[in-house]
Homo-oligomer: A and B are copies of this chain.
Amino acid sequence: MSARNAEAWRTLPNVPPTHVVSGEVYTDHGIFVAEKERIFGRCWHLACHESELPNTYDFRTFDYVGTPLIAVRGRDGIIRTFINVCSHRGAKIIHEPAGNAERLTCFYHLWSYDDRGACVDMPRPEAYHGVGLTKEDCGLREVRTEAFLGLVFINMDDDAPDLTGYLDGALDSFAPVLGSGELEVFHYNQSILHANWKAWQETNLDLYHEWMHVLLRRTQMKAASMESRVVKALKNGHTAAGGLKASYEMYKGMAKRDTDMALPGLVPDDFFFADIWPNVAILARGTAIRIDVVIPIDEQTMLVEWRGLGRKGDTAEQRRLRMRHHNQYWGPFGRNVPEDAFASEACEAGFRGGAAAYQILAREENGAGQDDGMMRAWYAEWSRRTGRSAAQPTAAVAAE
């Protein structure tokens, strides 16, 4: 058989339902609404790294699937997160991405909140006493916040299991480096990409796509054997890959990375990564760590945040070199990440109007090489969370 007609094109291939994902998961509005509620309303979400809030009263604001949030380091050193919205008339309170403020004062009528989210001041409060309202009734909405290995996570669901149980060891391979206490974020950028949010996670989970990157074809595919790779499906949809190596000098204009640039617990040519379900990827090359967080905006639009982590104690020269290591692969002018972004948007172009019916995740390499196992594991959790088969997601929905 060569080309296919309409009917053959639409027919699911004869592979297990775990090995194929319908195009509807990208485009169906009901699925998107379900994802917002069942996934983003209930899972732990990586908000920032603790180095972004080094001092008491430092804050970071961010938008989480339409909800403005603010993380604040309190006078007790603990980071708490609040909905960044005023109890009075609903205004978004703080508008800068980061800053330092002992009190969060709403610009509109100057209601003021402390680092625990309590409303501690409002002008002329006596006008509310007639109906029995006092500032004690007007605290901010606090959102559950837990930190692990320096990563600050939040959860909109007050009843969700705690973070440690949720991660369940998925970051074990990162414990030496992330747990060293020596890291800080030195790179941050974010982009709106015109694709369904899952397309970004797919680029991170899909080992087979190293064929796309000339940089990986040169520095990675032969740096270690395919057989030495280890692809793992962990609990709760998390996944991890290891056993990869990089020969940086194989790409013209790049150089071998020196040991003295290595981060705590890493060797320079190491490459391994973990994916925290649903929307985080953490990638370690020996001298820099990259963290991606993706958030849906609508069915066909996402926001991706990229962070780079390095050593706090870098000299200026080391920092400059580390930025180069990070950005030559991963920056907005890097050789790799723009290609992944291109790929995400190209898949969206295939699925958006229904031209592509499904995608095939059927590679089996015994958890090594370019096995699709990470993608299958990710979609298995997606099915569990949404109550829908990824192969036929609009067929029937399981109750929670």
Inter-chain contact B370/A131, CB cutoff 8 Å? no
Inter-chain contact B1/A136, CB cutoff 8 Å? yes
CA–CA, A201 and B361, complex, Å? 44
Inter-chain contact A212/B107, CB cutoff 8 Å? yes
* Chain A contact residues, majority secondary structure: loop
- A35 beta carbon closer than 8 Å to chain B: no
- A350 beta carbon closer than 8 Å to chain B: yes
- A371 beta carbon closer than 8 Å to chain B: yes
Of the candidates B23, B109, B140, B142, the one whose C-beta lies within 8 Å of that of A211 is B109
Inter-chain contact B108/A343, CB cutoff 8 Å? yes
- A13 beta carbon closer than 8 Å to chain B: yes
- A44 beta carbon closer than 8 Å to chain B: no
Interface size on A, residues (CB 8 A): 87
Inter-chain contact A87/B354, CB cutoff 8 Å? no
Inter-chain contact A107/B66, CB cutoff 8 Å? no
- A381 beta carbon closer than 8 Å to chain B: no
B residues near A140, Cβ cutoff 8 Å: 3-4
B residues near A359, Cβ cutoff 8 Å: 88-90
Inter-chain contact B131/A3, CB cutoff 8 Å? no
B residues near A14, Cβ cutoff 8 Å: 132-133, 137
Inter-chain contact B13/A137, CB cutoff 8 Å? yes
CA–CA, A364 and B133, complex, Å? 11
Inter-chain contact B346/A131, CB cutoff 8 Å? no
CA–CA, A109 and B107, complex, Å? 52
- Nearest-neighbor residue (CB-CB) of A132 within chain B: B14
- A141 beta carbon closer than 8 Å to chain B: yes
- A7 beta carbon closer than 8 Å to chain B: yes
Inter-chain contact B141/A5, CB cutoff 8 Å? yes
Inter-chain contact B92/A131, CB cutoff 8 Å? no
- Nearest-neighbor residue (CB-CB) of A203 within chain B: B108
Of the candidates B3, B109, B349, the one whose C-beta lies within 8 Å of that of A117 is B3
CA–CA, A88 and B132, complex, Å? 62
- A33 beta carbon closer than 8 Å to chain B: no
| A121-129, A177-185, A235-243, A257-265 - interface stretch | A121-129
CA–CA, A107 and B217, complex, Å? 13
Closest chain B CB from A168 CB (angstroms): 24
Interface string of A344-357 (1 = CB under 8 A from B): 00110111111110
Inter-chain contact B132/A15, CB cutoff 8 Å? yes
- Nearest-neighbor residue (CB-CB) of A123 within chain B: B211
| A78-86, A277-285, A383-391 - interface stretch | A78-86
Interface string of A96-116 (1 = CB under 8 A from B): 000000000001111000101
- A270 beta carbon closer than 8 Å to chain B: no
Inter-chain contact B350/A109, CB cutoff 8 Å? no
Inter-chain contact A127/B15, CB cutoff 8 Å? no
Closest chain B CB from A171 CB (angstroms): 27
Q: Which of A1-23 contact B (CB under 8 A)?
A: 1-9, 13-16, 19, 23
- A223 beta carbon closer than 8 Å to chain B: no
B residues near A127, Cβ cutoff 8 Å: 208, 362-365, 369-372
- Nearest-neighbor residue (CB-CB) of A375 within chain B: B89
- A164 beta carbon closer than 8 Å to chain B: no
- A139 beta carbon closer than 8 Å to chain B: yes
- Given pairs A3-B118, A109-B212, A110-B212, 5 additional interface contacts (CB within 8 A): A2-B139, A6-B158, A90-B358, A127-B208, A133-B362
Which A residues are within 8 Å of any B CB, using their own CB?
A: 1-9, 13-16, 19, 23, 65-68, 80, 82-92, 95, 107-110, 114, 116-118, 123-124, 127-128, 130-133, 136-137, 139-142, 156-158, 202, 206, 208-209, 211-212, 342-343, 346-347, 349-356, 358-365, 369-372
Nearest 8 pairs of A and B residues by beta carbon:
A66-B353, A3-B117, A90-B356, A2-B118, A3-B142, A9-B141, A90-B350, A92-B349
